[in-house]
Amino acid sequence: MTAKVIGVIGVPLFAAFLNFQVIDFKRSYDSGSWPAVEGTVITSELEKMGSGSGEGTLAKVKYRYTVEGQTHENDKVAFGLFRGMVTWGHAAKVITSYPAGKTVKVFFNPKAPDVSCLETGGIGWEDIFMLVVGAYGVFWGTKNLYSFYRWLSHRIVTPNKKRAINAVRTMGFIFLAVVAAAGLFASVACHLMSWLLIEPPWGQSVFLLHIGIFIVWIPLVIFANRTMPKRGRGNLEHLFAVLPRWVRVATSALFAYALLNFGYFAYCTRVYPKHGVPFLLELRRFSGHWMMFYGVALAGLVGLARVSRKRRENAGVA
């Protein structure tokens, strides 16, 4: 059932991802009929991400143009969230095509002149692949909606007050587990984007995931201590004990990866000044920790729900 719950949680996340994809596809199609004006490339440079064998480059082209007396600046060369991201030499080709100071033809949306591009139409194969991935995610999650609804209803309908109180407590743990799962999905998405050198559509607001960690961890720690056996060892041990073994292995792997990711971040950022670390590198560091915290919280909260249900059954309440 945990997989079904996670699948359902992923529906809005995959749907949001598809929404951004569709918007870019539509703009790519519409740009073929957009009017054009002359513009000038202001900056054109390769932004290096990482170091050594893990180094990647991102093309940063910024241009300025004027529409009806209003000056605009943009950095969109062509539409497509993932276009050229894994195509060898794509970034260098873009920089070569649009050097700083070059006069370029800028195609703009007549209804929103601040939306523009230098290359019209077309989409990358990377975008088509990710569109299929997003569509499958929505399909998989939607497929589990009905079974999740039946599972949830079975636990809400209770014949007496005591059982109702216990059910509400269990449902509270499940709700927080849902929040933790959503945070884990978002963290993984941000981490993958940072490795693919894609800036999240949400921008700096992704750092709100810091706050979500406290929302799920504070109640987890409180109730883990309350349900811990008197001779228990570690306030999460009894929760992992009621979960499949692979959960412990997965959370341990997340912990190890977070440490390795932080070490690699420190290695990569040694060439940058203190306050000059690129946004995507910062995102890679923090998202590695987010995945660990949200992953452990998800496991702990599911464990709390199981412990609560098990204790009701042993007391003859269920």
C-alpha Rg value of the chain to the nearest Å:
24
All domains of the chain, ordered by start, with CATH? 30-120 (2.40.50), 158-314 (no CATH)
Question: What is residue 34's three-state secondary structure?
Answer: coil
pLDDT at 264 over 80: yes
Q: Compute the mean pLDDT over every residue in the chain, rounded to the nearest whole number.
A: 80
258 Cα distance to chain centroid? 16
Spatial separation of the C-alpha atoms in residues 169 and 314, rounded to whole Å: 17
The first and second tokens of residue 139, run together, are: 């399909």
State the pLDDT at residue 49. Answer: 59
State the pLDDT at residue 168. Answer: 67
Which has the higher per-residue pLDDT, 243 or 58? Answer: 243
- Average pLDDT of the residues in 108-130: 84
State the pLDDT at residue 53. Answer: 43
pTM for the model: 0.58
State the pLDDT at residue 51. Answer: 46
CB 44 within 8 A of CB 95: yes
Which has the higher per-residue pLDDT, 226 or 314? Answer: 226
pLDDT at 1 over 60: no
CB 285 within 8 A of CB 265: yes
State the pLDDT at residue 65. Answer: 96
pLDDT at 268 over 70: yes
Q: Beta strands of the chain (E only): which ranges? A: 36-49, 56-67, 70-74, 103-109, 112-117
pLDDT at 6 over 60: no
Which has the higher per-residue pLDDT, 260 or 194? Answer: 260
Q: What is the pLDDT of residues 150-165, one digit of tens each?
A: 665 555 555 555 565 5
State the pLDDT at residue 308. Answer: 79
State the pLDDT at residue 99. Answer: 93
DSSP H helical segments within 73-228, as ranges? 90-97, 125-143, 145-156, 161-195, 209-227
Spatial separation of the C-alpha atoms in residues 31 and 289, rounded to whole Å: 40
State the pLDDT at residue 54. Answer: 44
- Average pLDDT of the residues in 297-312: 85
Which has the higher per-residue pLDDT, 147 or 299? Answer: 299
Question: What is residue 39's three-state secondary structure?
Answer: strand
Percent of the chain with pLDDT over 70: 78
Dihedral sign for Cα atoms in the order 261, 263, 268, 269:
positive
State the pLDDT at residue 91. Answer: 82
Lowest model confidence (mean pLDDT) among 14-23, 106-115, 276-285: 14-23
